[in-house]
Structures are given as structure tokens and as C-alpha cells.
Chains A and B, each alone.
Chain A
Amino acid sequence: MSTLAVHDHAVAHHDEAHEHHHKATFLNTYVFSQDHKMIAKQFLITGITMAFIGMALSLLFRIQLAYPDKAFPLLETLLGRFAPQGRISPDFYMSLVTIHGTIMVFFVLTAGLSGTFANLLIPLQIGARDMASPFVNMLSYWFFLTASVIMLSSFLVQKGPASGGWTIYPPLSALPKAMAGSGEGMTLWLISMVLFVASSLMGGINYISTVLNMRTKGMDLWKMPLTIWALFLTAILGVLAFPVLVAGVVLLIFDRSFGTSFYLSDIVLNGQVQPYEGGSPILFQHLFWFLGHPEVYIIIMPAMGISSEVLSVNSRKPIFGYHAMVYSLIGITVLSFIVWGHHMFVTGMNPFLGGVFMITTLIIAVPSAVKTFNWLATLWRGNIRFTPAMLFAIGMVSFFISGGLTGIFLGNAALDVNLHDTYFVVAHFHLVMGSAAIFGMLAGVYHWFPKMFRRMMDDKLGYLHFWLTFAGAYMVFFPMHFMGLDGVPRRYYAFTEFKGWEHWLTVNTFITWAAMLSGVAQLAFAYNFIHSIFWGKKAEQNPWNANTLEWTTPVEHLHGNWPGEIPTVYRWAYDYSKPGAEDDFIPQTVPFSQTMSSNLPHDFEDNPGGLEEYNKWTAAHKASEPVK
């Protein structure tokens, strides 16, 4: 028998820290909050801040690429020793690329995306009062924030941040003296990422446990919205993949600081032979990409879930192929663990093994394509409402198609030998991951802003934001395919200085200006976001006429989400424009007994009693209907 303290207001408190007293103060409401809705907002705002920082870094290295021999005195003023004589130094260029990638992949599109929407939507859409462990959930945010601060603090050390690329391959990452960024910058990178992984694991464990254990009455797995499916499977991916990265990093730390030779062998540094022997840098690549590939799906799956939801709501149509959507997510989850070798085709891998990875890689394109076709079929003849969220969701589909197609080229080992480490790869993953996932995230922000902040964002600014970003992203990344086909390698400081590649300078300049344009477009978003938090139009309870449970909670936030009992769920989340229904949407909380005129036989697949009632009802009504 439970004897936990119970408080006067209508919410059960579960966590020990909560048992003693519960008074809302500034600190426990806004800072050390254990409420999942507040934690979601904390993740979102931190994520957006990191996104702006990451974007600023990319604009800096774009300036270098477009104007390799021009000096910008302003840069020296801003960056000091990192840009002597107004020109970004080669070392700092590498740091910019590295930290840009790290921030975007991990801090924005992993923590910012999953952290925000898993925290916000899991309890609200499955009908739970909070996460399984609100305290661990809070810790997850604080570890994330600490990791972010440490990552950024590496700009303050003498030699600058880590600079071996976001994939931190040894030996550059394992030998503190190898290059400027291999020193303290790399150490800070490792510390930050350890905290980051801890944060991800705490979050992920909580999400899985909550989805599996705390669904409200009637919410069986096959009634869950696709957002929940996606976030749930994403969490599973993270929980299985991140520990492998930790293992790789532990060995890296031993090599770095304790003199072991897991990854190092035959190295001469500044004319000095190093004592390391027998290690294999390829081992690190295996461990890294065993996480790294699932990681890219950790990034895209929440965006897929969000887009599915937004597309269905705003097409006023059921999502096309709900079951296929779920099975393809499961398929992606499983397959993503056996394709990592496609990042290593040119490491001297046995061609037979390469062939195996090639086949698995091409197979993973199948569930991806299933999803794409289903999104398009959902739009087909829908009653489309072009809200900003809808535009971003459509944009997500567009980028996923154009970036996914190039994945199939890269997945063929014979082609990848040529394309590996060129701008073709940069184009591929910025479209399929960078742009698509960011668009999915933005769709989510526009769509659930009223739920988070109780106000609406401005539509006009939303449209402006969408069109400029959409056009900008294509202008930035599309030309990169052609550079890649011409053999231009990625991560080069000034490749236009090489004979034969000078002609890319004009393209580089174009891309840089397109990037600036997209950057400016984000200011429209920032203004809209901040302004709407305080002064936006007040939101109604269910502004998009959506079916999912979060819109049945009151506009005012409550700790515990629903004032009375948690509502019961009777149907799936996609009864939009159901023939015979009064409205064009039927929330999940409406029982079939209240919608007799729109029920269909397959609504009662595993409910014989209901089917009997349904048959009786139709028989009675058929008899009274005039013959046509």
C-alpha cells in the first residue's frame, strides 16, 4: 500500500524530492523545474540559441570560402588571434567547421529536437501527468546545458576549440600536439560530449519508460500518434547507440592521456617518432559510425513524426498508411544498426564486406521511400490549410526526397570511392539531415507554439521565414553536388587556390550570399518567436482542430496536465474528414457511441460487442432510408 504524501491539489506527486513541500517559487518553476512542459521549453530555447550560434559559425567559414584572399578588419576585431589581419586562420577554420557540425548534429538536432518534443508531447499525447521520473528528466536538461556551456567555452582557450571534424577521428583527436585544436579544445569537446551522452541517456530512458508504462486508458500502442511512435523509437535508437560512442571515447581518452595504443601506430610528429605501436584508427571509425549512423536517424525520425502529424492535421485527412508508417519507422530503427560501414567504404575494407554494407544501405532506402510516398499520398486531394507549420512540414518532405536520392548514389560502394569526402556528401547530408530535420523541427515549433506558450505565432512572418529559408537552403546546398562531382574535397580551407578548381570561386560566392540570406531569414523567426511569447495573439484550446490529447488540456498550464481525471482514449488520432461525421475532426476522446453516423465496420476490428451495435444501428437506419 502506498503511503506517499498526497497534497491538497488534484495531482499526485511521485518524486521523493517533492514529497516534503511544494510551493511554486521562481526557482522551481522556471529554473529547476520538474514539469515536463517547462523542461521542453528549456530544451527548445537552449536548442534555438545553440542553432543561432552554430549558424553564425557557418557564416564565418562561408566568408572565408567566398573571399579567400580578402581581409576583413572587422573579423580581427571580433575574433582577435583567430583572425590575424582580418583573415580567418586555417586552424580556426577547422575549428569552425568542427564546432558547427558538433553543435548542429548533437546540440540542436538531437537534444534540441528530441528534448523539446519528447518532453512536451510524450506525456501530453499519451495521457500521462508527467514523465516516469521527473527528477531525472530535470537532470537531463541540466547536463545538456552544462555540456553546451563547456562546448562553447572551448572558444576561450588559447589554441581554440577542437578541430578534427565532428567525427573526431584519431590520430588528430588522440594526440594533443597534433594540431592546434587537438589540445585543450579537444579535451573540452570530450568532456562536453560525455555530459551530453549522459543527458541523452537519461532523457531517452525516461521517454521509453513513460511511453511503455504510463499511457492513459484506451491508449494502446496502435492508437498512439505517429509523433509518439517516432519519439519512442528515436529514444530506443539513442539508448542502444550512444553507449557505443562512449566505449569508443573511453578508448580514445586512454590513448590521449594514458599512453595506450588502441588507435595509434607508426606516428611521427614534428620529426619525432612517437612511442605508439599497433593501434588501428579504423577501430575508432567502426565504433564511431556504429553510433554515427543511428545518430542521423535519431535526428530525422522525430522530424518525420512531427511532419506526419502536421501534414495529416492540415490536410484534414487521415495519415495515409498509418501502419506502414509505424512499420517503416521500426524498419529504419532496426536497419540503421547494420549500415554503418557505408561511411567506411574507402578505409581499405574488404570489398565483400563493403558489398554487404552496400546492400543493407540500399535496403534502408525502402522504408524511407515508404514514408515519403505516404506523406505525398496524405497530401493528395487533401483539404490543405497552408499554415506555416504545414509549409515547413511540406518543406521537410521536399528536402528529404532531394537529399535521400543522393544517399542512394553514395550507398553504392563503386560510386562512393569517387564521391567520398567531397562536397557531394556535404550536399547529401545537409539536405537530408540538416535541412529536412530543421524544417521538421520548425514545423513542430509553429504547430505546438500555442500549446507551449499559450499564444499564437504570427502567420505572415512565418510565411516570410519559410520561403526565404526554403529557397536559401536549396541555393546553398544544391550547387554543392556539382562541386562534389568535380572532385572538390570537403573541409578544405581554400580549395579555390588549386589549379583546376578556381572556377568554383564564383559558385562559392553565390553560396555564401545565399547562406547570408537564409541567415537573415532566421531573424524573422527569432523576432516572431520572442515577440509572440509575450505579445502574440492568445491561443484557443484547440487552434488547429486536431484530434490528439494535448489539445484537451486547458490552455493554462497545470502541473499534472489535466485538472480532473486523465481522459480516456477511444480511437486513433487520425479521424479527419470522416464521412458522415458532423465536424471534420473527431478527437481521440470521443467514443464511437457518440458518432454512430460516421462509424465504419473496421472501427470495431477487435471489439465484437461494438460491431454488433454498429450492425444493429446500420440495419435500423438502412430500413428507414429512402431508396435512391
Chain B
Amino acid sequence: MIMAQIQQEDRVNLGAKKFSMWIFIFTSFMFFAALTSGFIVYSGQKGHALDVKMPTTFIFSTIVILLSSVTLYMASTAAKKLEWEKQKFLLWVTFALGIVFLVLQIQAWYILTYKMGVYFVGPNASRTFIYVFTGMHLLHILAGLAVVLNAIKGTYGSVTQVKNLYKMEMTSIFWHFLDIIWIYLYVFLLLNQN
């Protein structure tokens, strides 16, 4: 078999893996869609309205995760322009913003529980859903942080540019998705807060 053909097949294969990431995004989306549908069915019962005003912390965390998407986008552009130092720096910034998001979400739990008296356990599970939405999203964020770290690792080792770009693309798909899911959940909660 000739060299060119193998390389051809390789490229198809990386393409296929990227495609797999998209399908994974779909499964993940279905998971959150199911949780929010569950909320709709549950809160449709009498006396189970949410009736919680969302803490302002969520506004800050939304801004932070939006920013992290911007920095990740800039990191990708840098990688394409072969500016690896800049890419590395921006990836670290993205990672840091991810951590800040995580901390803010946990702070929001703190405020919900101790300042607003919205408990995880209680007779109105609509409120429990707030914790479930954010908690399950945070689990995804942890996975996302691991993916970002993996991309950062790539900028230290001697990974080829093809591999580097591939990692950046995979990371971008996943991280931007987490961003969008958070906005979906937040808007969903805002729309249902009465």
C-alpha cells in the first residue's frame, strides 16, 4: 500500500473521530433535554411551581463561561496561525475561567441553601431540580476541564500540528457545547422561576 493512501485513510479517521464528538454532544444534549422535560412534567402538578428568584451569582458565572469560550476561540485561532506560545497562554486562561465558573456555581448553591432557604431535599422537587441541573452540568464541566488540560498538555509536548489542531477542535466543540448548555439551563430556569 502506498504512503499517500494511508495518510488519506488517517485523515478520514480523524474526521470520523471528530464526528463521534458531535454525536456525543447529541447524547449529552438528550440527557439535559430529558432532565428539563422531567421538570416540566413534575412542575405541571398542582403546587409544584418553582417560585425561586435565581441568585445573581448565576449572571456572573454566565459571563465567566462566555468569556472562557472567547478565550478558547482565540486559542484556536492562535494555534492555526502557528502562534503556540499564545495558544498555550490562552488555554491556561480558559482553564482558569473554567475553575472560576465552577467556584461560582458552588457559591450559588451556598447562597441558595443558606441565604434563600431553597433546599436540595424537600417536598417541592422543582427546587431540587435546580441542584440537579447545575450539578450535572458541573460534572460535565469537570470533564471539559480535563479535555482542556489535555489540549494544554499537547502544547508542551512535541505534538504535530495536525494533532494539535485536532485536539483544539475537539476541545472547542466540547467546551462551547458546555457553554451553550449552561445558557440553555439558565434561560430555562429563568423562564420557569415563577
Interface residues, chain A, CB within 8 Å of chain B? Answer: 1-4, 6, 10-12, 14, 129, 132-133, 136, 201, 204-206, 208-210, 212-214, 239-244, 246-248, 250-251, 254, 258-262, 277-280, 282-283, 286-287, 290, 564-565
Contacts and interface: CB of A to CB of B under 8 A. Distances in A.
B162 A3 contact: yes
A206 B41 contact: no
Contacts of B37: 286-287
B13 A205 contact: no
A283 B38 contact: yes
B27 A242 contact: yes
Contacts of A210: 16
Contacts, number: 133
A23 B146 CA distance: 31
A244 B31 contact: yes
Best-buried of A136, A241, A277, A278 by chain B (most CB within 10 Å): A278
B188 interface: no
A132 B42 contact: no
Given A2-B11, A3-B160, A129-B9, A287 B27 contact: no
A205 B125 contact: no
B20 A206 contact: yes
Contacts of B48: 278
User: Chain B interface residue count: which class?
Assistant: 35 or more
Contact of B17 (A132, A201, A243): A132
B38 A247 contact: yes
A39 to B, nearest CB: 16
Contact of A261 (B28, B122, B136, B160): B122
Given A209-B16, A243-B34, A260-B120, 9 more contacts: A2-B160, A12-B1, A205-B20, A212-B16, A244-B30, A246-B31, A250-B136, A278-B48, A279-B125
The 5 closest A-B pairs by CB, nearest first: A277-B123, A247-B34, A132-B16, A243-B31, A213-B16
Given A12-B9, A247-B35, A279-B125, A205 B1 contact: no
A280 B128 CA distance: 14
Given A14-B10, A205-B27, A278-B48, A259 B121 contact: yes
Overall SS of chain A's interface: helix
B121 A132 contact: no
17 contacts: A10-B1, A14-B9, A206-B20, A209-B23, A210-B16, A213-B15, A213-B16, A240-B27, A248-B38, A250-B35, A250-B136, A258-B120, A259-B121, A260-B125, A280-B45, A283-B42, A565-B5
Interface in B1-60: 1, 3, 5-7, 9-17, 19-20, 23-24, 26-28, 30-31, 33-35, 37-38, 41-42, 45, 47-48
Interface of B: 1, 3, 5-7, 9-17, 19-20, 23-24, 26-28, 30-31, 33-35, 37-38, 41-42, 45, 47-48, 120-125, 128, 132, 136, 160, 162
B27 A12 contact: no
Nearest to B162: A2
B42 to A, nearest CB: 5
A260 B38 CA distance: 15
A3 to B, nearest CB: 5
B3 A212 contact: no
Contacts of B15: 213
Given A2-B10, A278-B124, A214 B16 contact: yes
A81 to B, nearest CB: 36
Contacts of A248: 34, 38
Contact of A260 (B3, B12, B121, B136): B121
Contacts of A204: 23
A251 B132 contact: yes
A485 B160 CA distance: 69
Nearest to A284: B38
B132 A254 contact: yes
Contacts of B10: 2, 4, 12, 14
Contacts of A12: 1, 6, 9-10, 13
Given A1-B7, A3-B162, A283-B38, A243 B27 contact: yes
Nearest to B26: A239
A258 B1 CA distance: 59
A132 B27 contact: no
A334 B132 CA distance: 29
Contacts of B33: 244
Nearest to A14: B13
Nearest to B24: A205
B138 to A, nearest CB: 13
Nearest to A255: B125
Contacts of A1: 7, 162
B120 A287 contact: no
A369 B133 CA distance: 41
Contact of B128 (A10, A241, A262): A262
Nearest to A241: B30
A548 to B, nearest CB: 21
A286 B31 CA distance: 14
Contacts of A11: 1
B31 A247 contact: yes
A479 to B, nearest CB: 39
Contacts of A261: 121-123, 125, 128
